[in-house]
């Protein structure tokens, strides 16, 4: 009979859009291994909790962030990923609006901060691999679900939406065709509110109509940006 001594952990990739850049929430560890290194928030699953309960708890304890929706990403189980013992990590990712969350470090974290994904510090364990996997998932989802609106402010300029897509997809888009296609879906409300953008004329703000999107989805609507 084979005996196992495998521990189960959860780690979370929390993306936010700040200063026109895609950011990820990281904690600075205050325990070994990798003490003083930056890492994804997470930890071991307790005996009496589910994976989902564990990741919600770890996020709250280490970052003070509470998230309504977490999507399971992938499981990482390389035998040498943790120098202490054999640990399998079930990872999750989420999209949040940073301005809605007051981050604060606690428990195993001595600090917590948002980092631009293009300017990351060295990460503990295999967390850079986890992060890259999450970025690819986000890039993919962006083309078939309106998840970009979960990163923008409640009211935004259309140019902000364009910049978000170009930032995450890491490519230049045809702005005229992009605008035409997004507006054709009928899931954006153009508001009677304007804001100045640079030296140009004030532009109207927009709002994502989530209720209309789900109504259309039930009728067979497909969100497709390619």
Give residue-wise pLDDT tens across range 70-88: 999 999 999 999 999 999 9
Each residue of 4-62: pLDDT tens digit? 889 999 999 999 999 999 999 999 999 999 999 999 999 999 999 999 999 999 999 99
pLDDT of residue 111: 97
Each residue of 106-133: pLDDT tens digit? 888 999 999 999 999 999 999 999 999 9
Residues 6+ apart with CB under 8 A from 184: none
Cβ atoms < 10 Å from Cβ of 19: 8
C-alpha 144/C-alpha 116 separation (Å) is 24
Residue in 199, 61, 72 with CA at minimum distance from that of residue 133: 72
Task: Band the pLDDT of 1: cuts 50, 70, 90.
Answer: confident
Residues 6+ apart with CB under 8 A from 110: 28, 29, 30, 36
pLDDT of residue 194: 86
pTM of the model: 0.93
pLDDT of residue 155: 94
pLDDT of residue 2: 75
CB 26, CB 116: distance < 8 Å: no
pLDDT of residue 198: 67
CB 96, CB 68: distance < 8 Å: no
Q: What are phi and psi of 107, to 5 degrees?
A: 45, -115
Each residue of 167-223: pLDDT tens digit? 999 999 999 999 999 999 999 999 999 887 766 788 899 999 999 999 998 998 889
Residues 6+ apart with CB under 8 A from 42: 9, 10, 11, 12, 55, 58, 62, 89, 91
Question: In this model, does residue 95 exceed pLDDT 80?
Answer: yes
Residue in 165, 172, 16 with CA at minimum distance from that of residue 102: 16
Task: Band the pLDDT of 99: cuts 50, 70, 90.
Answer: very high
C-alpha 120/C-alpha 49 separation (Å) is 32
∠ CA 145-147-152 to the nearest 5 degrees?
Answer: 150
Pairing status of strand 203-208 against strand 87-96: unpaired
Domains assigned to the chain = 7-141 (3.90.79.10), 147-218 (1.10.10.10)
What are the angstrom distances between the C-alpha of 87 and each of 3, 6, 73, 115, 129?
Answer: 15, 6, 17, 26, 15
C-alpha 95/C-alpha 142 separation (Å) is 12
């Amino acid at each position: 009979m084979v005996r196992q001594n495998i521990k189960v952990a959860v780690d979370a990739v929390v993306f936010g859009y700040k200063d026109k850049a895609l950011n990820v929430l990281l904690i600075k560890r205050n325990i070994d291994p990798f003490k003083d290194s930056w890492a994804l928030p997470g930890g071991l699953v307790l005996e009496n909790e589910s994976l989902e309960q564990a990741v919600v708890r770890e996020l709250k304890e280490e970052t003070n962030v509470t998230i309504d929706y977490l999507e399971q990403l992938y499981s990482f189980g390389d035998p040498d990923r943790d120098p202490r013992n054999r640990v399998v990590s079930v990872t999750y990712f989420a999209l949040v609006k940073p301005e809605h969350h007051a981050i604060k470090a606690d428990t195993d974290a001595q600090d917590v901060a948002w980092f631009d994904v293009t300017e990351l510090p060295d990460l503990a364990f295999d967390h850079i691999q986890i992060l890259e996997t999450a970025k690819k998932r986000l890039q993919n989802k962006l083309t078939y679900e309106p998840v970009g609106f979960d990163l923008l402010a409640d009211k935004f300029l259309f140019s902000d939406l364009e910049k978000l897509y170009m930032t995450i997809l890491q490519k230049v888009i045809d702005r005229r065709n992009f605008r035409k296609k997004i507006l054709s879906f009928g899931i954006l409300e153009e508001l009677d509110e304007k804001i100045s953008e640079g030296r140009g004329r004030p532009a109207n703000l927009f709002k994502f109509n989530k209720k209309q999107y789900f109504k259309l989805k039930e009728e067979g609507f497909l969100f497709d940006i390619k």
